[in-house]
Structure 1
Amino acid sequence: MTERNRELVTENVWRTLRRYTDARIGLGRAGISLPTSELLTFQLAHAQARDAVHFPLDVNRLVESLKTLDTTNALGLPVVVHSQAEDRFTYLQRPDLGRRLSEQGYERLLAAGQSEAPTADLAIVIVDGLSSSAVQNNVVPFLDSFLSDLKRERRDWQLAPLTIVEQGRVAIGDEVGGLLKARIVVVLIGERPGLSSPDSLGIYLTFGPESGLSDARRNCISNVRPAGLGFNDASQRLLYLIREADRLKLSGVELKDRTEEVVIEQDRTGSTFLTN
């Protein structure tokens, strides 16, 4: 900004608080309007949010990235399926179709469930949702943290095959979990982009998944990304909810996230874990 432009812009006293948040506060003004730099920044953020909704998930690249975590040992090769929404336009216009598996996807997961042990403890489902960039950027580092934490659990959790769903909504995870005969399903999904968060990952947990459950049966951990809730913290919150869901045999509004009330300690390796 030139010296002349600085003279035209009236600074806002709240501007110093922007170091603590991505929210658009303390923008200042030029006359009765926004400064040009702030207007351009807003337009860029709006474009990034739109791109996040419409840009397709690169499934092949995601699968290759998952291999770097050696997830094949814990979860098996990913099973890639599709919702009943045939394309992105249909997905955005018909949310109901994004909540159900296509006929081919249904048959594939039904066969996968029949080939597994009678019951899996946990199924992890990756869904593109409303932000492919959230999934592309954040799923692998989150799973890296979560699977490492899961290995340190006293209990040996039996995992269903990892599933990737294209053009899916949150509720499709319940159908996937039911077909895989999992007692608990965890859905990793791209959340609706905000103007300061185009790559926010959401995590949803359901105990006893089956088709047709309402949102009241799910727990949610939101805004998982480097600029939001960190991967390690998100992993610890998810582990807490999984333990409690398994203990109480429920999830959703009846299962409260009390991770703020438990003790966060550090082991000798420097990683954190939760104790009741």
Structure 2
Amino acid sequence: MSPAQFKRNPHCRRVSPIDPTPLVDPYQQKQHQQILLTPINRQKLLEMKIATPARIGLGRCGTRYLTQPRLKFLADHAAARDAVLTEVTPKFIQQLGLITAQTTCQNKQDYLKNPPKGRQFTATALQQLTSQLPQYATIQLIIGDGLSSAAITSNLGQLLPLLQHTFKKAGTPIDRDHIPFIKYARVAAMDAIGATTKADVVCMLIGERPGLVSANSLSAYIAYRPEVGMPEARRTVISNIHAGGTTVQKAAQQINAACQAMLRYHLSGVALKQKLASSTKTSQRIAN
């Protein structure tokens, strides 16, 4: 600020020289590593912050957040919006060798405003898709963009090879050349595909609704011989698959274990959970 400008605006503060220190991207900052307060027990606060992704111990200035937590909040919110509004690129889908199909949604806005459309295919689209898939597969894998394109691009490249290896080792190899990618997909889109192809187990990997903790969380929805209109209780879900949650290595093991249990008991969802719990109790009684 020049002397003349300061004279015209005496209440303005003089601006200090520009700080040459590079700015840090708030989205890349780990809030659990930041201690912005002067706590009585710094170590205990640090342990609490490490134990949860929740925003605790942020500090305040009057009734407002401090600058760093505020910027981190805005950055996380922007990342969540981007995950919802952006789309998985055709190049990424092509690199993974996936078969492309689309639900009855016309575009992203249509998908967001009309959830039922994301569960349905036109008769032509369903016929074209299922004609490229194997009939009576033991395990049919499906990819859906869902509500987070970031979940697909961040996790799928690592998770697919792990699943392929894990299923093969279990004696139930998947057909890697016939995995569909469903654009504008909701979870129930898997039902029409499974019912038409008569697959024993259908597993859909889909991007979950992002939040302020993670914008790239993937979930696996798995069902034994799904049918259109079936209750949600028939699905088994493995969620929170991302680097800060369930790792892709652990997810591959859990998905495989769920699929093998479905093939063994011919059940999925709540019924499978109850069956496994009953089998565990029986085994414990025999052991005792």
In the superposition, the TM-score normalised over structure 2's length comes to 0.77
Instruction: Name the structure 2 match of 1:89.
Output: 109
State the distance in 1 between where 2:53 and 2:174 align: 39
Does the C-alpha gap of structure 1 residues 110 and 149 become closer, same or farther in structure 2, counting only changes over 3 Å? Answer: closer
State the distance in 2 between where 1:82 and 1:92 align: 14
Does the C-alpha gap of structure 1 residues 141 and 158 become closer, same or farther in structure 2, counting only changes over 3 Å? Answer: closer
Does the C-alpha gap of structure 1 residues 162 and 21 become closer, same or farther in structure 2, counting only changes over 3 Å? Answer: same
Pairing of 1:213-228 with structure 2 (within 5 A): 213-228=230-245
Q: Which of the residues 78, 88, 91 maps onto 1:60?
A: 91
Q: Is the 8 A contact 1:130 1:190 kept in 2?
A: yes
Q: Which of the residues 87, 112, 119 maps onto 1:99?
A: 119
CA RMSD for the aligned pairs? 2.3
Q: What 5-or-longer segments of structure 1 have no aligned partner?
A: 1-8, 68-77, 263-276
Does the C-alpha gap of structure 1 residues 55 and 158 become closer, same or farther in structure 2, counting only changes over 3 Å? Answer: closer
Q: Which of the residues 267, 271, 277 maps onto 1:254?
A: 271
Q: What 5-or-longer segments of structure 2 have no aligned partner?
A: 1-35, 281-288
Higher strand share: 1
Q: Which has the larger radius of gyration?
A: 2
State the distance in 2 between where 1:170 and 1:200 align: 15
SS at match of 1:143: helix
Instruction: Name the structure 1 match of 2:20.
Output: none
Aligned length: 238
State the distance in 2 between where 1:172 and 1:156 align: 23
Deviation, 1:10, is 4.5
Deviation, 1:180, is 2.2
Instruction: Name the structure 1 match of 2:6.
Output: none
Does the C-alpha gap of structure 1 residues 205 and 156 become closer, same or farther in structure 2, counting only changes over 3 Å? Answer: closer
Residue 125 in structure 1 maps to residue 159 in structure 2:
no
In the superposition, the TM-score normalised over structure 1's length comes to 0.80
Instruction: Name the structure 2 match of 1:29.
Output: 60
Instruction: Name the structure 1 match of 2:219.
Output: 202
Q: Which of the residues 144, 149, 156 maps onto 2:166?
A: 149
Q: Describe the superposition over 1:227-272 as per-residue Cα deviations: whole angstroms up to 9, x where unpaired.
A: 110111111111111111111111111122979x99xxxxxxxxxx
